[in-house]
Amino acid sequence: MNKSAYHRDTWAEIDLQAIKHNVVEMKNHLNNKEVFAVVKADAYGHGEKEVAEAALNAGASRLAVAVFDEALRLREHFPEVPILVMGWTAPQYVRLAAQNNITLTAFQTEWVNQAKSYLKGEPLSIHLKVDTGMGRIGIRSVEEAYDVIRACDNTSIKITGVFTHFATADESDLLYYQQQLGAFKQWLKQVKPHLPDDLTVHIGNSAAAMRFPDDMYDGVRFGISMYGLYPSPTVKGEQPIKLKPAFSLYSRLIHVKKVHKGDAISYGATYKAQDEEWIGTIPIGYGDGWIRKLQDFSALVDGNKCPIVGRICMDQSMIKLNRPYELGTKVTLIGEDQNAFVSMDDAAEHLETINYEIPCILGQRIPRFYIT
Ligand SMILES: Cc1ncc(COP(=O)(O)O)c(C=O)c1O
């Protein structure tokens, strides 16, 4: 991204070396099984093109997205790389998918029948999605699978892969994971004789891939941990591989002032200074996805934790400083400053959500700059 195209003192830095490190670690952990770089939702808010390129350079061999439009965009940059759309794509787009050599996910006989009517002989590659307990999309029984496979017979629709998705692979209680794994094994045993030999079987997300590499068949769909984040506190505690976080978020002080005891800050005048205080203003707000619930969360200035005080506005927020700082002083909202850290996990904990959500909600008004 061209820095000179932006004129704003709030930005994100994406460390592509960290992405590469995480892919290499995962490849080694898996004894070289295939890594699908999951770059849906603009690479979890990190930037799809740049992350995809870094991941592929580091040894990922495929890209996985949720939505067909994401696949079409990536195809323009990566003409040869296998791309899988993991979500549902309307059957009227199958011809466009075939022409662009994009693999779609299928799990309904009705879908296959409709897809056939749109194809004009060009080969369409599909992966069958099996619902072993996620309860979202997928074939739930062997009989349903036979139906779908029969509908594909003698057509240009080629089943090239099979996959499932785990609901609890990141939890400490492993019973449900084991049940899903067992259900998949059973399903595959019965269905495999009806499928082509050169099938790619992939079942793991980051959590399953890191914790149970031996269960992982041919490849894994590597999402959150490619970005350097552990899928849950449980997995973070176990640290099956050492990850490097890729995303940092910065701003700068654009105004610094001394306020007196009782002076109010921001909408609603809900924050009142306890004493004489130094207050800094930073140009980030809920219009950037820096949502109002982040009030009372902390940012770092010169290695010091500075609480966000008063309501977060659409474009600006205020922080309580430990002393006066010069205009333009860097403020770290996510990342490291002189051995002090504010992590995605800290923000997620404050918002009572999961780390996945944080980079996804940081909007496009925040430019992403890439460290290569
Ligand atoms: C089907 C599917 N596979 C893989 C992933 C990647 O999961 P994670 O980010 O936990 O690695 C996702 C993400 O939600 C997904 O929906």
Structural domain total, the chain = 2
Q: 37: buried, middle or exposed (CB in 10 Å: 19+, 13-18, 0-12)?
A: buried
Q: Cβ distance 316 to 285 under 8 Å?
A: yes
Q: How far is the CA of 221 from the centre of ligand 1 (A)?
A: 6
What's the rounded mean pLDDT across residues 259-264? 98
Probe residue for ligand 1, chosen from 165, 234, 344 as the CB with the greatest number of ligand atoms within 8 Å: 165
Q: What is the pLDDT of residue 55?
A: 98
Q: Are residues 195 and 292 in the same domain?
A: no
Q: Cβ distance 63 to 81 under 8 Å?
A: yes
Q: At 231, which amino acid appears?
A: P
Q: How far is the CA of 40 from the centre of ligand 1 (A)?
A: 9
What's the rounded mean pLDDT across residues 246-257? 98
The Cβ of residue 249 has, within 10 Å, a number of other Cβ atoms equal to 25
| Sequence-separated (6 or more) residues with CB below 8 Å from residue 364 | none
Q: How far is the CA of 92 from the centre of ligand 1 (A)?
A: 25
What's the rounded mean pLDDT across residues 283-294? 98
Any ligand 1 atom below 6 A from CB of 226? no
Task: Give the Cα separation of 18 and 313 in Å (integer).
Answer: 32
Q: What is the pLDDT of residue 1?
A: 59
Q: Are residues 201 and 263 in the same domain?
A: no
Q: What is the pLDDT of residue 226?
A: 98
Query: Of all protein residues, whose CA lies closest to atom 14 belonging to ligand 1?
Result: 223
| Sequence-separated (6 or more) residues with CB below 8 Å from residue 11 | 249, 250, 251, 366, 367, 368, 369
Q: Are residues 163 and 252 in the same domain?
A: no
Q: Are residues 281 and 232 in the same domain?
A: no
Q: Is 43 left (phi over 0), alpha (psi -120 to 50) or beta?
A: left
- Please, what is the angle between helix 109-118 and helix 142-152, to 10°? 10
Any ligand 1 atom below 6 A from CB of 20? no
Q: Are residues 233 and 341 in the same domain?
A: no
Residue 106 lies in a domain: yes
pLDDT in tens, 105-142: 999 999 999 999 999 999 999 999 999 999 999 999 99
Q: Are residues 74 and 205 in the same domain?
A: yes
Any ligand 1 atom below 6 A from CB of 223? yes
Residue 25 lies in a domain: no
pLDDT in tens, 329-372: 999 999 999 999 999 999 999 999 999 999 999 999 999 999 99
- Using the predicted structure, report yes or no on whether residue 3 has a pLDDT greater than 80: no
Residue 352 lies in a domain: yes
Catalytic residue among 20, 27, 40, 320: 40
Residue 14 lies in a domain: no
129 is catalytic: no
pLDDT range class, residue 301, cuts 50, 70, 90:
very high
What's the rounded mean pLDDT across residues 248-265? 98
Task: Give the Cα separation of 2 and 188 in Å (integer).
Answer: 48
Question: What percentage of the chain has pLDDT greater than the value 70?
Answer: 99
Where do runs of H (alpha helix) occur along the chain?
16-29, 40-44, 48-57, 68-77, 94-99, 109-118, 142-152, 175-191, 206-211, 233-238, 344-350, 357-361
Any ligand 1 atom below 6 A from CB of 161? no
- Using the predicted structure, report yes or no on whether residue 6 has a pLDDT greater than 90: no
Q: Are residues 123 and 213 in the same domain?
A: yes
Atom of ligand 1 nearest to the CA of 40: 13
Atom of ligand 1 nearest to the CA of 86: 1
Q: What is the pLDDT of residue 21?
A: 98
Task: Give the Cα separation of 278 and 367 in Å (integer).
Answer: 28
For 223, the domain range is 33-238
Q: Cβ distance 251 to 283 under 8 Å?
A: yes
Q: What is the pLDDT of residue 4?
A: 77
314 a known binding residue? Answer: yes
Q: How far is the CA of 115 from the centre of ligand 1 (A)?
A: 25
Q: What is the pLDDT of residue 12?
A: 98
The Cβ of residue 232 has, within 10 Å, a number of other Cβ atoms equal to 20
177 is catalytic: no
Residue 310 lies in a domain: yes
pLDDT in tens, 141-168: 999 999 999 999 999 999 999 999 999 9
Q: Out of 187, 221, 238, pick the residue that ends a domain.
A: 238
Residue with tokens 């009227």: 92
